Amino acid sequence: MVVIWRNFARVYGLKSKAQAAGKIDEFFSFVARQATVEPSQIKTIRTDGGTEFVNRDFRRIVAREGIRHQHFNPHSSFQNSTAERAIRTLTEMATAMMVGSALPHYLWEEALKHAAYIHNRVLHTGENEMRSSRMFSVPPDLSRLPVFGQAVAVRIPDDVRRKRFRFRGRAKRGAFIGMSNEVRGFRIYTPGDGRRITESRDVT
């Protein structure tokens, strides 16, 4: 699910449509707590008519926040053209990342999230400020940003290495797939661990 607010894009993974209301609630909290742009209050939300947006849980959340909910007609993307253009751009970026990296197809969601991360941190035509800078009032640091799919080495924490990897190296190989929102570090796909994705700041 892609959420666009003031041209700032954020991607949420959904295992089922029932999770949509909770993710929208999470986005509302994210804006209320972290956005510094004024005014930071969300007044209207526009969605398509999907069942994930037309249900009791979703109505309860927007009612609680005092937000007006508008949904546009099926097959009428022009009614929400800004979001549609952004989603198309992110999809094209993610597709290029997946093709260029040759990573497994099931990592497409990670590519889409990273596309949004980059989209928010580059200058766009007609704008004189990066969207993340406008949102958080802090300039982004992209000096250590790897390429999606780039091979990296992830340091194994000492306590974990003593228990599980005592006679192995101090790092394991992986592929960079994005930035973490939780630890202010990197998200790394480690093929030797099945579909495991780890998050770490100790990456080279």
Q: Where are the domains of the chain?
A: 2-136, 151-200
For residue 163, the model assigns a pLDDT of 56
- Are the C-beta atoms of residues 133 and 124 closer than 8 Å to each other? no
pLDDT at 96: 98
Q: What is the pLDDT of residue 113?
A: 97
**141-160 residues labelled b (16+ CB within 10 A) or e (exposed):** eeeebbebbeebebebeeee
Please name the residue that has the structure tokens 């097959």.
75
- Is the torsion defined by CA of 47, 84, 112, 137 positive or negative? negative
149: tokens are: 């799919």
Q: H or E element: which one contains 131?
A: helix 131-136
**Per-residue pLDDT tens for 173-192?**
999 999 997 678 999 999 87
What stretches of 6-138 adopt beta strand conformation (E)?
8-11, 44-47, 68-71
Q: What is the pLDDT of residue 169?
A: 65
Q: Are strands 44-47 and 68-71 parallel, antiparallel or unpaired?
A: parallel
**Local structure of residue 103 (DSSP, 8 states):** -
Q: Are 117 and 124 a contacting pair, CB within 8 Å?
A: no
Per the prediction, the chain carries an average pLDDT of 87
Instruction: Give the count of beta carbons closer than 10 Å to the beta carbon of residue 191.
Output: 12
pLDDT tens sequence across 101-153: 999 999 999 999 999 999 999 999 888 999 999 898 888 888 889 999 999 99
More confidently predicted of 67 and 158: 67
What distance in Å separates the CA atoms of residue 96 and residue 186, rounded to the nearest whole number? Answer: 20
Contact 176/200 with Cβ under 8 angstroms?
A: no
Of residues 82 and 29, the one with the higher pLDDT is 29
Q: What is the pLDDT of residues 55-74, one digit of tens each?
A: 899 999 999 999 999 887 66
pLDDT for residue 181 = 79
Reported in sequence order, the residue ranges of 29-170 that DSSP labels E, i.e. its strands, are: 44-47, 68-71, 151-155
Name the residue with tokens 């580059």.
122
Residue tagged 């340091």 (tokens) = 155
Structure tokens at 189: 């796909």
H-helix or E-strand spanning residue 104 = none
Q: Is 62 helix (H, G, I), strand (E, B) or coil?
A: helix
CATH number of 2-136: 3.30.420.10
